[in-house]
């Protein structure tokens, strides 16, 4: 008997193919079953989906193509998982199949049923080697002795004593349903609260699972180490698995299968882990919930933090959002636990650091009063020198890699512009190259100006390479307590390209082999450096002069997170008789961002920023989406967006009167890889109105894309709840 099945396959949203495709199957397949299906001349992975509520009958004369194969051995994906995918597709304006298939491990997408069967089959026992008669006799003698079986007793990691604040927060998590916003200062012990919360749900249910997310790959190993040490003695070596893009495809498949079958009790991962199949989910933790890395910037532009909240509500799981600098959206949506207010989240506070450690003192250096062109002000350099001589470590933060952002010719004003992008090529002195950080185009540094032949082309601006070189020069005569010269290290995307290089460099910092560490934001958050007592931001002002209204929030979060790297070990600080400090060099020292930072007063900063957002009608008091068009010319990109606006008005789309459509404009970096980019902002005071308008608009965008006058268009996409404009 033949059955009609509806399958979600990976078709891009702008292809207009549709969410589900119908196929013929000789056997009845449960929703969630993984299958191989033909599509055009290709064969690809698909997920059997629930029949649409308004499924139309197949027209007579239409012959459905048959399922090519069923991936048996993997239990069907749960209804909860399918609901999560369907919601994400609807909310973020993508196709169901695009999100469903991309959420599965890449290794699984390319497997045939036969390959999967071999992958899941137990390993065959190795054939015994032929042995000589003498070896056989020796083996008999060995086995004649009584065999004593020794069972290793796993070492149980003793639980750390909770502080009064940690104990109160943990008690509230146990008693309340959440979701929770854990607002804890850097070094307050949020990770220990996460560990206790995970332990509680696993102890309460022998099948329960927990999902713990971090914003970046480089934070996964140290968190994994703590979870493995805590839980594998009790639950076994398969209890903790990781999921992130830095793993190999076989590793990702192994972790996914362990979570899907329930063998893995704890899943650690980056934003991609939100779509992991975790059938017995009981707890979701989103560490550093404010981080922009939780927002996907390619393909389906989902927010893993927001999906975690939706998934927690759908599965009746507890959700903990943790941060020392919560996003303004989360802060606005939360209510203090003791206020009984109407907030959607319960805010839990841990303002104190563990032990007797105190937050670093923030020092502001007014660079208008310092020597001209000084990279490091004399007071800051003296402070760094003192730390080196005492055997302590310093962290220098500059969120710009390379040696200099641009090369410049003073004679003809030539700049090292990228030929394929409307951006400069960054000068990297280490390998003498100019690199575009947008399209990746790389070329050798010219010996003379390509425009006028001037040999004196000079670097403009500072990058982490230049800071490292400058510090090595300034500290060349400074000695450590052991008499050795000061050592300056650097950690950024350039020094951590090789596999394992990040872990190796972090190990050197932890071991004390580096006295001054220069780095970008990748070392400014989450890391537990025990010997760093001074952190300095040398050029933070550029973030204040951005057209993006979120720039002050991002800068405050980055600097406060960076400050949290100083003085985390109370015992070390006490033994050294040290005083942790955060130095900020600024040409705008009176700015409100720095004033709040000096007091470590995030609530005051959030109050001021939220008032500005309210006055301007910005999120979280409004809801936004961006429609972006990429084309061969800027005129073609903007013409598509103008036509889309006009067709929405001509069709009088529902909720059009509640949605404001701004005129299209070029993006900040309007050309990348020879593709021009334009964007149009949509804004509404009602989230539902915005989403319903976008859903009704989709078919017209597909129709416009197919018109001859819009052939130069490369692609279009919708970004709901954008983080940058």
Q: Of 564, 713, 687, 572, which is closest to residue 624 (Cα–Cα)?
A: 687
* Co-location of 528 and 381 in the same domain: yes
DSSP string, 579-606: --EEEEEES-TT-HHHHHHHTT-HHHHH
Assigned domain for 134 exists: no
Check residue 45 and give its pLDDT: 93
The pLDDT mean for the chain works out to 87
Q: Dump pLDDT digits (tens) for 194-235.
A: 999 999 999 999 999 999 999 988 777 778 888 999 999 888
The confidence score (pLDDT) of residue 705 equals: 87
Cα–Cα distance, 267 to 213 (Å, whole number):
8
**Does any domain span residue 102?**
yes
Closest CA to 526 of 571, 576, 560: 560
488 and 581, same domain (yes or no): yes
Query: Tell me, what's the pLDDT at 129?
Result: 57
Same domain, 100 and 198: no
Say which residues have a Cβ less than 8 Å from residue 297's Cβ, sequence separation at least 6: none
Q: Token pair of 94, please?
A: 């993508």
pLDDT along the chain (725 residues), means of 10: 86 68 89 91 91 74 85 93 95 92 92 84 61 50 36 49 89 91 88 94 94 86 86 89 89 93 94 95 95 90 96 95 94 79 84 78 91 89 94 91 91 92 92 91 92 90 91 92 91 84 86 91 80 91 83 91 82 82 91 90 93 93 95 94 95 94 94 95 95 93 89 90 88
Q: Give the pLDDT of residue 158.
A: 59
Reported pTM = 0.89
Q: What is the pLDDT of residue 241?
A: 93
Q: Examine residue 657 and state whether it is found in any structural domain, yes or no.
A: yes
The dihedral sign for the CA sequence 499, 505, 506, 508? positive
pLDDT at 221: 77
User: For the domain that residue 706 is a member of, what is the CATH number?
Assistant: 3.30.70.260
Q: 709 and 684 share a domain?
A: yes
Residues 63-116: tens digit of each pLDDT: 888 888 999 889 999 999 999 999 999 999 998 999 999 999 999 998 888 888
Q: Read out DSSP for 358-383?
A: -PPEEEEEEGGGS-TT-SS-HHHHHH
Read off the CATH number of the domain in which 495 is found: 3.40.50.300
Q: H or E segment at 637?
A: helix 634-650
| Whether residue 109 sits in one domain with residue 58 | yes
**Residues with Cβ within 8 Å of residue 175, at least 6 apart in sequence:** none
State the SS3 of 180-204: EEEEECCCCCHHHHHHHHHHHHHHH
Residues 504 and 652 grouped into a single domain: no
pLDDT at res. 122: 72
Non-local CB neighbours of 661 within 8 Å, separated by 6+ positions: 645, 648, 680, 681, 682
Examine the domain organization and report whether 436 and 425 are in the same domain: yes
* Contact call for residues 48 and 21 (beta carbons, < 8 A): no
Q: Of all residues in the chain, what percent are helix, strand and coil, respectively (each to 5)? A: 35, 25, 40
Q: Are residues 414 and 535 in the same domain?
A: no
Q: Is residue 158 part of a domain?
A: no
CA distance 494 to 468: 13
Distance between CA atoms of residues 635 and 556, nearest Å:
37
Query: Is residue 145 domain-resident?
Result: no
461, 477, 508 - which closes a domain: 461
Residue 356 lies in a domain: no
Convert the pLDDT of each residue in 334-372 to its tens digit: 988 666 566 789 999 988 877 767 788 999 999 989 888
> Which range of residues forms the domain containing residue 310?
164-350
The two structure tokens encoding residue 599: 């007091």
**Are residues 545 and 436 both part of a single domain?**
no
Q: Which of 520, 600, 536, 500 is nearest to 393 (CA)?
A: 536
In a domain, 144, yes or no: no
d(CA 232, CA 194): 16
User: Any alpha helices (H) in 124-219, and if so which ranges?
Assistant: 133-144, 164-175, 190-204
Is the residue at 330 inside a domain? yes
Q: How far is the C-alpha of 555 from the C-alpha of 561, rounded, in Å?
A: 10
Q: Looking at residue 329, what is its pLDDT?
A: 94
Residues 310 and 291 in one domain: yes
Shared-domain flag, residues 572 and 664: no
Among candidate residues 91, 117, 143, the one where a domain is terminated: 117
Domain of residue 86, CATH code:
3.40.1440.60
- Number of domain units in the chain: 5
Residue 706 and residue 570 share a domain: no
């Amino acid at each position: 008997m033949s059955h009609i099945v509806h399958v979600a396959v990976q078709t891009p949203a702008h292809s207009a193919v549709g969410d589900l495709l119908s196929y013929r199957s000789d056997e009845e397949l449960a929703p969630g079953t993984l299958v191989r299906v033909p599509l055009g001349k290709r064969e690809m992975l698909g997920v059997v989906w629930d029949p649409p509520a308004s499924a139309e009958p197949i027209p007579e004369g239409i012959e459905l193509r048959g399922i090519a194969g069923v991936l048996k051995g993997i239990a069907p994906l749960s209804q909860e998982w399918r609901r999560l995918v369907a919601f994400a597709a609807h909310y973020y304006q993508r196709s169901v199949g695009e999100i469903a298939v991309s959420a599965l491990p890449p290794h699984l997408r390319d497997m045939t049923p036969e390959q999967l069967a071999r992958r899941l089959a137990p390993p065959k026992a190795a054939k015994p080697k032929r042995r000589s008669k003498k070896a056989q006799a020796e083996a008999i003698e060995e086995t004649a002795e009584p065999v004593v079986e020794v069972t290793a007793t796993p070492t149980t990691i003793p639980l750390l004593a909770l502080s009064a604040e940690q104990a109160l927060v943990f008690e509230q998590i146990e008693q309340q349903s959440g979701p929770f916003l854990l607002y804890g200062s850097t070094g307050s012990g949020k990770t220990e609260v996460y560990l206790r919360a995970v332990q509680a749900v696993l102890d309460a249910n022998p099948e329960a699972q927990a999902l713990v997310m971090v914003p970046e790959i480089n934070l996964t190993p140290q968190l994994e180490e703590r979870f493995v040490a805590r839980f594998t003695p009790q639950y076994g070596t398969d209890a903790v698995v990781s999921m992130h893009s830095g793993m190999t495809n076989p590793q990702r498949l192994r972790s996914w299968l362990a979570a899907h079958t329930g063998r893995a009790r704890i899943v650690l991962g980056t934003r991609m882990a939100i779509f992991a199949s975790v059938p017995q989910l009981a707890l979701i933790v989103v560490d550093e919930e404010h981080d922009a890395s939780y927002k996907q910037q390619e393909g389906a532009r989902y927010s893993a933090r927001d999906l975690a909240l939706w998934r927690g509500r759908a599965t009746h799981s507890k959700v903990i959002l943790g941060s020392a600098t919560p996003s303004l959206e989360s802060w606005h949506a939360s209510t203090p636990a003791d206020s009984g207010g109407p907030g959607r989240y319960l805010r839990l506070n841990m303002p104190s650091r563990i032990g007797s450690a105190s937050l670093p003192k923030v020092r502001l250096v007014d660079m208008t009063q310092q020597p001209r062109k000084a990279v490091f002000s004399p007071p800051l350099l003296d402070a760094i020198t003192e730390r080196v001589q005492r055997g302590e470590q310093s962290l220098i933060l500059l969120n710009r890699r390379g040696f200099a952002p641009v090369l410049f010719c003073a004679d003809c004003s030539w700049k090292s512009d990228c030929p394929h992008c409307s951006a400069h090529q960054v000068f990297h002195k280490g390998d003498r190259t100019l690199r575009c950080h947008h399209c990746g185009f790389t070329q050798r540094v010219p010996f003379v100006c390509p425009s006028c032949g001037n040999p004196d082309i000079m670097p403009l601006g500072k990058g982490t390479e230049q800071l490292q070189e400058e510090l090595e020069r300034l500290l060349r005569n400074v000695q450590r307590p052991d008499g050795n010269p000061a050592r300056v290290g650097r950690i950024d995307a350039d020094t951590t390209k090789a596999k394992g290089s990040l872990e190796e460099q972090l190990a050197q910092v932890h071991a004390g082999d580096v006295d001054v560490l220069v780095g970008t934001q990748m070392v400014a958050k989450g890391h537990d450096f025990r010997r760093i007592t001074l952190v300095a931001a040398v050029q933070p002002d550029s973030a204040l002069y951005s057209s993006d209204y979120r720039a002050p929030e991002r800068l405050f979060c980055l600097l406060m997170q960076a400050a949290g790297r100083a003085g985390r070990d109370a015992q070390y600080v006490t033994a050294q008789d040290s005083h942790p400090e955060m130095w900020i060099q600024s040409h705008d020292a009176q700015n409100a961002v720095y004033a709040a930072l000096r007091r470590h007063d995030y609530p005051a900063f959030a109050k001021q920023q939220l008032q500005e957002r309210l006055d301007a009608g910005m999120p979280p008091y409004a809801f936004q989406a961006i429609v972006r068009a990429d084309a061969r010319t800027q005129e073609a990109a903007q013409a598509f967006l103008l036509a889309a606006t006009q067709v929405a008005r001509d069709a009088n789309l529902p909720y059009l009167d509640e949605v404001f459509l701004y005129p299209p404009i070029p993006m900040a970096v309007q050309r990348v890889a020879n593709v021009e980019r334009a964007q149009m902002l949509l804004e509404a005071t009602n989230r539902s109105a915005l989403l319903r308008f976008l859903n009704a608009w989709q078919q017209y965008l597909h129709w416009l894309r197919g018109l001859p006058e819009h052939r130069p268009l490369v692609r279009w996409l919708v970004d709901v709840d954008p983080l940058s404009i």
